[in-house]
Amino acid sequence: MTQQEFMERTGITPTAEDFDYIHAVYLNTSMNKDEFCKDFKKHGDSRIIRDVHVRVLNYEGGFYQFHFLFLA
């Protein structure tokens, strides 16, 4: 989904940095664009979602680092 598509569907104009976060969250869902945007309008400012997103990134980063160091 492009930033323009997101803005048209939600009426929200995020900064480039905020859209990077939004897009990363979107790519890790099984929702289509319309479902995601509808849900984001309700819950996009959720601290829970931001915290979980950070934990997932940290977990994935640790996993790949472990895999590279010990299994490569």
What's this model's pTM, rounded to 2 decimal places? 0.71
Euclidean distance between CA atoms 21 and 15, whole angstroms? 10
CA angle, 22 then 56 then 4, to 5°: 10
Is there a contact between 6 and 12 (Cβ–Cβ < 8 Å)?
A: yes
DSSP-assigned letter for residue 30: S
Q: Are 21 and 47 in contact (CB under 8 A)?
A: no
Q: What is the pLDDT of residue 6?
A: 97
Task: Give 2-24 pLDDT, tens digit per residue.
Answer: 999 999 999 999 999 999 989 98
First to last CA, the chain: 34
